[in-house]
Structure 1
Amino acid sequence: MRTLAIGDIHGGLKALIQLLNKMEVKDEDTLIFVGDYVDGWSESAQVIQFLIELSENIHCVFIKGNHDVWCEAWLKSGDVNPTWYMHGGKETIESYEGFSEADKKRHLECLENMPLYYLDDENRLFLHAGFTSMHGVNKEVFETTFYFDRTLWEMALTMDKRIEKDSAIYPNRLKHYKEIYIGHTPTTNFNSDVPMHAVNVWNIDTGAAFKGRLSGLDVNTKQVFQSDNLPVLYPNEKGRNKD
């Protein structure tokens, strides 16, 4: 029985299917997705549909990411956020061509029901981006922090690894949890094409929205699984690449 954490998908259904096959997912596994299912490649609606069907047979936890918040707002009201449209929303809207209103309603319900974070029975925290409260996620004041924050990862990266967890200067934010798993900030920004580990924080967004791969991590063994690079799987698309 495994717990597998999966990074930001960004409309890359081909990468998701390839990754799940490589992980040889079984019915008894738990899959925890850290958000951003949409925006980027051409199959955002198809990703949501696939995940809904997957969750009918396998225990899945779907954390909500910032791109999912934007998509949820569009499905609810029909209004197009200009920032969202420029950062993958256009492709997501186009991916819904051919989907019925009933399908869209089901997808909206899925997005609305996504938690902002998940804490498992081993005190491992999963969320999209980060949190800022020194008292932990249950004391966070602004919910947007859960899917927009980058300071948690920045702090973990710059910490002196010699500081012990029981030290007075060890950040209180990190003391609350055995491990923390996030996405949101691509590891490719730091010249790494695999999940990165800093202190007790694991970043599993390996740039699938851009030129990177979709990654999964067995949180017990730390075994890494990866798809091909997304541009290889979608050769006629640019995703969110700017060049």
Structure 2
Amino acid sequence: MFMRILAIGDIHGCSKAFDTLIDMVSIQPDDRVITLGDYVDRGPDSKGVIDRLIYLYNQGQLIPLRGNHEIMMLAARSHPNSLDTWKICGGQQTILSYQNSSRKKPKINHILPEHWEFVEQTCLDYWEEETHFFVHANVAPNIPLSKQSNHHLFWEKFYSAKPHYSGKTMVCGHTSQKSGKPVNFGYAICLDTRVYSPKGWLTCLDINTGKIWQANQQGKRRESWIDEFISSPRHFNYAP
């Protein structure tokens, strides 16, 4: 049996914040770590983030979900017309993270084969536990997880979240919070705290205890509890 079930919000190429957060949490051999997608783009070290995730996965501790930025990354490889769109949305930073001294102009085909395999084959669309389920973006409230549309799973914003018929609590990312604080509707929790921005943080939640750990790219740390962030959808101010 796993000691802790830990959910981590959108990392977006911010390996320094990720390293600090992992050090704070002090992952134990019987912990399960669920990452909510958007590992690439916007931050400076998408390559390093995926390297770290593959290591955790090979240790048997990681359940990685796929985010909309991974969807865009895969589309850019398969459909050249999608490459420019991906670059505008942060893909240029991802490609640059694979640069080395011998390459003057990095290209998408410099992304490592094992990283493509991780994004395309290892990452999942959703994950379900006894009392919680995990998705990147959102779900339609009256539909099983296995029948959710790609739009809901990867693109739908959090402010529209409603209680799922399963009675389980949804944990997601995707809708970035400029405040750097998670949002807790009780039946749904958003952990995307905009780590790539100057005032952003990377957030980890222990779903059983409600403990929150946060770290940023400057190496700062803070801790809190998810109940401190209880809010109501009608009071939720969405900021893109």
- Partners of 2:147 and 2:184 lie apart in 1 by 25
Task: Output the aligned Cα RMSD.
Answer: 2.2
Q: CA deviation at 1:137?
A: 2.0
Q: What letter corresponds to residue 221 of structure 1 in structure 2?
A: T
Aligned position for 1:201: 188
Deviation string, structure 1 residues 32-82 (Cα, Å, up to 9, x no partner): 000000001110011111110121124101100010112223345666522
Runs ≥4 in structure 1, deviation > 4 angstroms? 75-80
Partner of 1:45: 47
Question: What does residue 161 of structure 1 align with?
Answer: none
> 1:146 is matched with which residue: 146, 153, 170?
153
CA deviation digits over 1:195-237, x for unaligned, max 9?
2100310111111132301010101001000112x3x36xxxx
Q: Equivalences for 1:1-243 in 2 at 5 Å?
A: 1-75=3-77, 81-98=83-100, 104-113=112-121, 114-120=123-129, 122-132=130-140, 134-140=142-148, 142-150=149-157, 153-156=158-161, 174-188=164-178, 191=179, 193-211=180-198, 212-228=200-216, 230=217, 232=218
Structure 2 CA distance for partners of 1:97 and 1:125, relative to 1, 3 Å: same
Q: Report the Cα distance in structure 1 between the residues aligned to 2:110 and 2:85, rounded to whole angstroms.
A: 27
- 2:167 and 2:192 mapped to 1: Cα distance? 20
Unaligned stretches of 5+ residues in structure 1: 157-170, 234-243
TM-score when normalising by structure 2: 0.79
Q: May I ask how many residue pairs the two structures share in their alignment?
A: 209
Aligned partner of residue 154 in structure 1, secondary structure? helix
Looking at structure 1, the residues matched to 196 and 68 of structure 2 have their Cα atoms a distance apart, in angstroms, of 13
TM-score, with length taken from structure 1: 0.78
Corresponding residue for residue 230 of structure 2: none
Contact 2:98 2:110 in 1 (8 A): no
Which runs of no fewer than 5 residues in structure 2 stay unpaired?
A: 101-105, 220-240
What letter is aligned with 1:145? H
